[in-house]
């Protein structure tokens, strides 16, 4: 049984083998912090763990559940061309699509809107050198174990925008279609399929089936996991290093000032002045509603 078969058909592995923890495998595998993503390089589904491709699936489509998504489209610019096998970090990137990330050493501009790499023609074939993408955290449909993995899937710009056609929608149009029908993207199994008419890897999306109630609440919790948060917040080169972001230091507790009780002062008793009663004013009560309205008019 090949790695590709294992990856493309998780059901081929008996459940009793997948659910049992194995200290021997963990010992041999070493680092337990394995960050996983699905690459679509070359129009092939590739499973990458800590930067190393461990299997691939040449099927035209893959079914998964979107459990989380980055809140905005990200931007990425590479000054150098890609070299096979090289883990190339972006020259400039923006997770919110408005300004360069704080850790970028060579920001191309103060804001993305004013960036020369964001102008048509700055890239090949009159494209923009700085590319849009969207980071998703996904789970495979055929892996619903408690220990199931969460993968990062980076959806490129040409798979994000456009109108598409029925059953073959780009990601944003697909999400809008689901919303218009009061369906959550996290509540359905989504099929992602390679567009065979595109010269470069391009995905289209469609809903396959609704999740069962048990599946929905299970995947909903997975969407809150550390792996899911890493998938939507970290760029692929960071994930490939197999290291999670350094957590922010806990706030230092400052010593509280000593509380000194103020001396108790007995309040001075002051006799309350007596209120004079005003003479009662005679008020004539109207005998009916009509006479009351006449008084208001006067």
55 bridge partner residues: 47
Q: In this predicted model, what pLDDT tens digit does every residue of 196-232 receive, in sequence order?
A: 999 999 999 999 999 999 999 999 999 999 999 999 9
In this structure, what DSSP letter does residue 169 have?
Answer: B
**Residue 206 placed within a domain:** yes
The model's pTM is 0.69
Residue 260 binned pLDDT confidence (cut-offs 50, 70, 90)? very low
Q: Is residue 103 part of a domain?
A: no
> In whole angstroms, what is the distance from residue 75 CA to residue 253 CA?
38
Domain-embedded: residue 293:
no
48 falls within a domain: yes
User: Which range, 18-27, 80-89, 90-99, is most confident?
Assistant: 90-99
Q: DSSP for 74-114, please give it.
A: EEEE-SSPP-TT--PPPSEEESSSSS--TT-SS-S-SSSTT
pLDDT tens string 12-56: 556 556 555 555 665 565 545 678 999 999 999 999 998 889 999
Number of domains in the chain: 1
Encode pLDDT of 51-75 as tens digits: 889 999 999 999 999 999 999 999 9
Token pair 């969407």 in the structure block, residue: 223
Q: Considering the domain boundaries, does residue 110 fall inside one?
A: no
In a domain? residue 296: no
Residue 38 forms part of a structural domain: yes
Retrieve residue 104's tokens: 């970028």
Range of the structural domain that residue 159 is part of: 3-71+133-240
CB-CB contact of 108 with 116 (8 Å): yes
**Higher per-residue confidence, 147 vs 244:** 147
Residue 228 resides in a domain: yes
Q: Beta strand pairing status for 151-156 and 36-39?
A: parallel
More confident residue, 166 or 75: 75
């Amino acid at each position: 049984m090949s790695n590709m078969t294992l990856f493309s058909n998780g059901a081929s592995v008996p459940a009793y083998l997948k659910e049992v923890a194995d200290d021997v495998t963990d010992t041999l595998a070493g680092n337990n912090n394995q960050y996983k993503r699905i690459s679509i390089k070359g129009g092939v589904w590739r499973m990458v763990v800590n930067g190393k491709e461990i299997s691939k699936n040449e099927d035209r489509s893959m079914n998964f559940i979107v459990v989380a998504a980055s809140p905005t489209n990200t931007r990425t610019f590479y000054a150098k061309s890609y070299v096979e096998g090289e883990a190339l970090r972006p020259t400039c990137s923006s997770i919110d699509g408005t300004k360069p990330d704080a850790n970028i050493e060579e920001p191309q501009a103060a804001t993305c809107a004013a960036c020369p790499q964001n102008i048509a023609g700055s890239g090949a074939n009159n494209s923009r050198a700085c590319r849009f993408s969207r980071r998703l955290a996904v789970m495979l449909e055929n892996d619903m174990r408690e220990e199931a993995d969460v993968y990062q899937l980076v959806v490129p710009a040409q798979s994000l925008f456009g109108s598409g056609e029925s059953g073959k929608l780009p990601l944003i149009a697909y999400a809008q279609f689901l919303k218009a029908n009061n369906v959550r993207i996290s509540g359905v199994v989504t099929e992602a399929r390679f567009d065979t008419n595109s010269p470069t890897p391009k995905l289209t999306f469609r809903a396959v089936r609704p999740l069962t109630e048990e599946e929905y609440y299970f995947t909903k919790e997975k969407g809150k996991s550390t792996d899911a948060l890493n998938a939507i917040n970290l760029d692929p080169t960071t994930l490939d290093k197999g290291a999670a972001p350094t957590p922010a230091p806990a706030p230092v507790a400052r010593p509280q000032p000593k509380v000194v009780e103020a001396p108790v002062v007995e309040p001075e008793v002051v006799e309350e002045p007596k209120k004079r009663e005003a003479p009662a004013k005679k008020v004539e009560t109207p005998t009916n509603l009509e006479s009351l309205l006449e008084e208001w008019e006067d």
